[in-house]
Chains A and B, each alone.
Chain A
Amino acid sequence: MRILLAACLVAAATPVEAQSAWTWRARTVVETTATELRRTGAVPEAPGPRRRHDQRLVATADAAWSPGERLRAAAAVAGSVTNETTRLRARELYVRASAASWLDLEAGRRILRWGVGYGFSPAGVLDPPRQATDPTDRLQVNEGRLLARADLYRGDTALSVVGADGGVAARLSTVFRGLELAAIATAGPGKAPRQAATVTHVIGQQLEWHGEVLIEEHEGAPRVSAAAGIQYTFAAGLNVVVEYHHHGRGLDAAAWNDVLAGRRPAGPRPSRRNAVFVRLAHAATDSRIVPEMIVIAGADDRSWTLVPSVTWTPHRRVQAHVRATRLTGPPRSIAAMAPFSTTLTAGAAVRF
């Protein structure tokens, strides 16, 4: 009932005609999800029946005010209503000033993305957590962090210096003969320094490759995380992304056995060390029907996560979608120990 009421309120809101200095967009998603729960698992299971049904309404809006090229103020908010909770979040709220032709200054809450991986992004040291099953953050769950930032530009090169979370991060990026390169470093009082690098490159008309690496200290030892992948678009329009990810802080076989034996907590989102991500989708974003398939294979324990989905756009403002998630694998694999095995979601979205 609450969801229906909220949907009516959102639908009744008439969009204001945009002025020239203003740009805005808004989207409302209503969806229902059926989840098949597991009775056993490494992660504490939710009590109750084996199946659960959830309804969710998510309304998101973002607006930017830019009276000229020298100033930009922007905000992005998201409100969600589920069976159990109601939340309103400011995802972004920032001001950017173009202090000189080579300098931008920015302050506020901002989503940064420095990683270049599609499913995994270890070099994204300030990025919101990447979900390989939902790389495009379809429900706009991600939130920015409070930061102050200076960006300096010279030709193909940019230097970003960011103060956030009591530390400093810097990214130096450039494009050289088609190679997009970036070096990233973070430091701060009481924080272990981290170094990262990213690369992207296009070969010919159809192939892109990318890679990133992160070196950090964890539990007193240096850890290396890395992702490398390719993206290939076939002439018929099929776009394929294949990525390999090594998670330096992921659970190795001994640590996972400890989790299974109850000697070590699994944590909220346990992860093993090596995984392969595959995404198949149509490259054209303006197609009416867009099927997509995401497969994440755990190389350590042969666990599988399958996420097939179809999005249908019958009208430029309206979309309908069906999406499933299936986790499967051998009995002691991380997928078999997850608190649920299957979800099926159906929903609709309206854009303003």
Chain B
Amino acid sequence: MKTILATTLGLLMLGAPLAARDLAATLLQRADTWRGGFDSAVLHVKLTNYEKDRPAETAEFEVSAKGDNSLVKFLSVRSKGQSLLMRGDDMWFFLPAVARPVRITPIQRLMGNVSNGDLARLRYAADYDATLERVDTVDGEGRAVLDLRARRRGATYQRIRFVVREADGRPLFAEYFLASGKPVKTATFGELRTIAGRQILTRIEVLDTMRPSSRTVIDLLSITPRELPDKLFNPARSGG
């Protein structure tokens, strides 16, 4: 009897973390669908930088995404003609003046107010391993706090603390960390719209922890699910 009890307790103790990990992975996959989650699609995104609550600059981007690959075209006046290609863990940046895609390192993708990776990497489930840190209850709603750790070099951040609604995985809040453990940004997810038959969060507000007076709002203007050709993501072609 004692043996059976001990075995059951042991299995329960072993099973609990496994179940928590499964739950975390499921919530992360669900969270991705709130941010689009289409297998192949073209997104139109607008960024507005605010300095002390005044809009300082806007920029628009066209993001073509398929599986692990994405191509971000810069549409605003300041950087028109530039594009960022992310193919798995490998990245190229195309400057029209250089007229060829230049290989870049992951840290270069982090430069700028909103990281290029914030636009190019749309699926956290593909880039991060999730563990369930805890579940908080706020106003009667369960909120799962997920600890995301980069599982691949191409992931934009080394670690993300990701808060999602426990019932359906809807993203609420995220805190982003560098490899050093230093927090760099926070993001608040909001503004729900129905696009292509899906409920999608179309606004993310990003705060720079180093510059509290500066914030960036990412607005998803449109998503067009479309089967994109693989050659679009070949670095030999992405030069334009």
In the complex, chain A residues whose CB is within 8 Å of the CB of B240: 64, 74
Whether A202 contacts B97 by the Cβ 8 Å rule is no
Determine whether the beta carbon of B235 is less than 8 Å from that of A153.
no
Identify the stretch in B6-14, B16-24, B200-208, B226-234 within 8 Å (CB) of chain A at 4 or more residues. Answer: B226-234
Distance of A173 Cα from B239 Cα, bound (Å):
14
For B30, list chain A residues within 8 Å (CB): none
CB-nearest residue of chain B to A285: B79
Q: Chain A residues near B78: list those with CB within 8 A.
A: 286, 313, 316-317, 351
* Inter-subunit contact A210/B103 (CB<8 Å): yes
B107:A175 contact, CB within 8 angstroms: no
The distance in angstroms between the C-alpha atoms of A352 and B78, with both chains bound, is 9
Cβ contacts under 8 Å, B77 to chain A:
25, 316-317, 351-352
Nearest CB of chain B from residue A298's CB, rounded to whole Å: 24
Residue A33 lies at the interface, judged by CB distance under 8 Å to chain B: no
Q: Render B186-202 as a binary contact track against A, CB cut-off 8 A, 1 for contact.
A: 00000000000000000
A100 to chain B, nearest CB (A): 9
What's the tally of chain A residues with a CB closer than 8 Å to chain B?
Answer: 56
Closest to B57 in A: A316
Q: Considering the chains assembled together, what is the distance between the CA atoms of A62 and B81 in angstroms?
A: 10
Known: A158-B237, A180-B90, A206-B107. A113 touches B229 (CB 8 A): no
For A7-47 the 0/1 string (1 means CB < 8 A from B) is 00000000000000001010000000000000000000000
Using an 8 Å CB-CB cutoff, how does the interface string of B104-117 with A read, 1 for contact, 0 for none?
A: 11111001110000
Contact of B90 with A178 in the complex, beta carbons under 8 Å: yes
Is the beta-carbon distance between A25 and B80 smaller than 8 angstroms?
A: yes
Q: Is the CB of A156 within 8 A of B234?
A: yes
Q: Which of B34-89 contact A (CB under 8 A)?
A: 57, 75-82, 87, 89
For the complex, give the distance between the alpha carbons of A302 and B78 in Å.
39
| B interface majority secondary structure | loop
Interface string of A280-324 (1 = CB under 8 A from B): 000111100000000000000000000000000100110000000
- Does B100 reach chain A (CB closer than 8 Å)? yes
Known: A113-B99, A202-B103, A202-B106. A286 touches B179 (CB 8 A): no
Output the least CB separation between A137 and chain B (Å). 6
B179 touches A205 (CB 8 A): yes
Residues from chain A with a CB closer than 8 A to the CB of B4 are none
With A and B bound together, what is the CA distance between A316 and B78 in angstroms? 5
Convert A211-237 into 0s and 1s, putting 1 for each residue whose CB lies closer than 8 angstroms to a CB of B.
Answer: 000000000000000000001010101
Contacts of A171 in B (CB 8 A): 236
Contact with B along A176-217 (1 / 0, CB 8 A): 001010000000000000000000111011111010000000
B180 to chain A, nearest CB (A): 8
Within 8 Å of chain A (Cβ to Cβ): is B172?
no
Residue of B nearest to A159 (CB): B236
How distant is the Cα of A140 from the Cα of B95 in the complex, in angstroms? Answer: 13
Residues of A within 8 A of B91 (CB): 202
Q: From the candidates A202, A239, A351, name the one contacting B90 in the complex (CB within 8 A).
A: A202
Question: Is A285's CB under 8 angstroms from B112's CB?
Answer: yes
Smallest CB separation, A283 vs chain B (Å): 5
Residues on A with C-beta less than 8 A from B75 are 23
Beta-carbon contact of B111 and A285 below 8 Å: yes
Query: Counting CB contacts under 8 A, is A263 at the interface?
Result: no
Q: Give B70 Cβ to nearest chain A Cβ, in Å.
A: 15
Q: Does B98 contact A (CB under 8 A)?
A: yes
Q: Which residues of B contact A113 (CB under 8 A)?
A: 98-100, 239
Contact A205 B231 (CB under 8 A): no
Question: Cβ of A64: which chain B residues have Cβ within 8 Å of it?
Answer: 240
Residues of B within 8 A of A286 (CB): 78-79, 111-113
Residue in B98, B111, B153 whose Cβ sees the most chain A Cβ within 10 Å: B111
Q: How far is the CB of B105 from chain A (nearest CB, A)?
A: 5
Evaluate contact between A283 and B237: CB separation under 8 angstroms: no
Question: A142 at the A/B interface (Cβ < 8 Å)?
Answer: yes
Q: Are A208 and B237 in contact (CB under 8 A)?
A: no
Q: Are B229 and A283 in contact, with the CB atoms below 8 A? A: no
Complex CA distance for A316 and B77, rounded to whole angstroms: 7
- Does residue A271 face the partner (Cβ distance < 8 Å to B)? no
For B104, the closest partner residue in chain A by CB is: A208
When C-beta atoms are compared, the residue in chain B nearest to A182 turns out to be B236
A173–B98 CB distance below 8 A: no
Known: A151-B236, A233-B108. 16 other contacts (CB 8 A): A25-B96, A62-B96, A69-B229, A101-B229, A137-B97, A137-B98, A142-B99, A175-B90, A175-B235, A180-B235, A202-B105, A205-B179, A208-B104, A283-B107, A316-B77, A351-B80
Chain A residues engaging chain B, CB cutoff 8 angstroms: 23, 25, 62, 64, 69, 74, 98, 101-102, 104, 111, 113-116, 118, 135-138, 140, 142, 151, 153, 155-156, 158, 160, 171, 173, 175, 178, 180, 200-202, 204-208, 210, 231, 233, 235, 237, 239, 283-286, 313, 316-317, 351-352
16 pairs of residues in contact across A and B, judged by CB atoms under 8 Å? A25-B80, A25-B81, A98-B231, A101-B231, A116-B103, A136-B97, A151-B231, A153-B236, A173-B235, A175-B90, A175-B235, A202-B105, A202-B106, A285-B79, A286-B79, A316-B76
